[in-house]
Structures are given as structure tokens and as C-alpha cells.
Structure 1
Amino acid sequence: MNARNYFIQGAIDPVFIGEQIAKHSSKHDIGAHSIFLGQVRADEKVGKHVAGIEYSAYEDMANQAFSKIREEAFEQWPLNCLHIYHSTGLVKTGELSLFVFCSSGHRKESIKAMKQIVEGIKHKVPIWKKEIMEDESVHWVQE
């Protein structure tokens, strides 16, 4: 089975996010959208600030994990749609690296589903993060 590709090279453009949301205005059975945006922070570590994060993944395995999270969300919650996009490559501080967008008839289901989806992504999808510090030194993130 070929898994769908959930990855976008580089930062996720806010214009792209707006376009994805706008596409749903014609779907009249949707009463709520939940949106999660992951943004790169300028954390300080050992006196240095993070300038960006370089994301990498074994994409076939990661795409399968994303697909499973998506299938489980549709089984558990009455969702109308669910879209997941994650960055690969360098994403600079302040830019977006994760965009999750789910819709349902009612807000409670959408909000509860979003929490489960984002936690699933964090704990089940094999994505590696390498923090690039302002002095260009590197720090691998272990979570």
C-alpha cells in the first residue's frame, strides 16, 4: 500500500494554510474547524539561541505512521476531513513546521480529535530534529 505524502519541503507558508481553509467554505456540513500550527521557537541552550530546526525523516515509515493516525482519528471521531502537513529540511525560528487541520459538525469533537492527533504525531511519527544554533553549531533534539 502506498502511503500518502504528508511532507512539505521547508517552512509551511501561511498563504498555503489560508488556501486550505478557504477550500472548505463550500462544505456546508462542517460546523467547526480545529487548527494546530507548530512554530519553531528561539529556545536558549548553553547561552545560544536556536536559529532554526532541520527536520528529517524516513519518509516511507513516517507517511505510514501519519496515515495510521489519520485512520484512527476517523474511526474514533465524526470528522468531515483531516489534513496533516509536516516540514522537512530547514525551518527558521518563527516559521511554521506543522499544520494540522480537522473539521467536524461540532466543535467538541473537532477539539478533542485535534488533541489526540497532535499527541499521536509527537509520539508515533519518526521525525528527527536538529537544532541549528545562531552560531551555526548543531544540537540534536532527543524527545
Structure 2
Amino acid sequence: MDKKKTKKVFIQGAIPPEKIAQSIANHQSKTNIGAHSIFLGQVRADEIDGNEVRSIEYTAYEDMAEQVFHEIREAAFSKFDMTCAHIYHSLGEVKAGELCLFVFTSSAHRKTAIEACNYLVEEIKARVPIFGKEIFEDETHQWKVNK
């Protein structure tokens, strides 16, 4: 396998639905693909101590995070027979109901696409130095704990 170029992962603000639609459309010409798996992470309006989350403000050590994203993506290509893998994550404020993470995998077969997508999501949550500050309706905030 040739070493792949590091891809830009971060998007400022919420991930627009048009980006997802365009990603799907871009793969229609790739006739060796038989399956795609997509994970969409969305900001929840959790209620914590009687206060509702209005948005999450994402920050990251960008250079370090981009490198970890690259390592995770490369490991996934070594582990799974994928055709494509795309990852996008938000930076900045993302409102409740908006998308903050988009993971898109493609393979000749559905099982591989699904397993690779799940692997990528779990590795991202465990390893990438991204931090989310929950901003509440009353303007208070706290650092989010990943679950």
C-alpha cells in the first residue's frame, strides 16, 4: 500500500448536509464499490442539572489531531479492504441538532464498510485530541465528557 497524503479533516462550524450528499454523489462513478457506511455525529440538546445544552464549541490541537486522524485512517486501510475513507470533524460552535462528525467508508462489500466505519469512529473518540465545551441555554458552559 502506498503512503496516502494527509487529508484535511476539520471544517469550521457544522457539517452541512450538502457535504454528505456531495460525498455520496462523488462515488457514483466508482463501480468497484458495492457498499458505503456513514456515521453522522450530531450535537444533542442534553439536559444537565436542569440546564439544556444549546451548542458545543469544538477546539483541538489541530496539527496533532490531523496527524492522529491520518494514523487512524491509515490503520483502517491496513485492517480493512476499503476503497475509500473520508472523515470530517467540526471546529468552532455547532448548535444542538447540527452535525459535528461525518465518517464515510466504502468497500466492495457491506460488512467491511460497516466494520471499518465503526472502527474509525471508536478510534476517533478514543484518540483524537478534540475538546468540546458544552454551552448551555443560560450561557454557562462546561467541558464535555465523551461517552
Amino acid at match of 2:60: A
TM superposition shift of 1:35: 0.2
Once the two structures are superposed, residues 104-128 of structure 1 have per-residue CA deviations (whole angstroms, 9 ceiling, x without a partner) of 0000111111111100000010000
Amino acid at match of 1:87: S
Counterpart for residue 113 of structure 2? 110
TM-score (norm: length of structure 2) = 0.94
The runs of 4+ residues in structure 1 deviating greater than 3 Å are none
Amino acid at match of 1:106: H
TM superposition shift of 1:66: 0.3
**Distance in structure 1 (CA, Å) of the matches to 2:105 and 2:113:** 6
Give the SS at the match of 2:52: strand
Alignment of 1:33-52 (within 5 A): 33-52=36-55
**Distance in structure 2 (CA, Å) of the matches to 1:113 and 1:16:** 21
Amino acid at match of 1:12: I
Counterpart for residue 96 of structure 1? 99
Counterpart for residue 5 of structure 1? 8
Amino acid at match of 2:25: A
Identity over aligned pairs, percent = 58
TM superposition shift of 1:4: 3.0
**Distance in structure 1 (CA, Å) of the matches to 2:103 and 2:89:** 9
Conserved? CA contact 1:32–1:104, under 8 Å: yes
The CA RMSD measured in Å over matched residues stands at 1.0
Conserved? CA contact 1:3–1:60, under 8 Å: no
TM superposition shift of 1:67: 0.2
Gaps of 5+ in 2: none
Alignment match of 1:120 (pick from 108, 119, 123)? 123
Counterpart for residue 18 of structure 1? 21
Give the SS at the match of 1:102: strand
**Distance in structure 2 (CA, Å) of the matches to 1:68 and 1:140:** 26
Counterpart for residue 56 of structure 2? 53
Alignment match of 1:29 (pick from 17, 32, 51)? 32
Conserved? CA contact 1:55–1:89, under 8 Å: yes
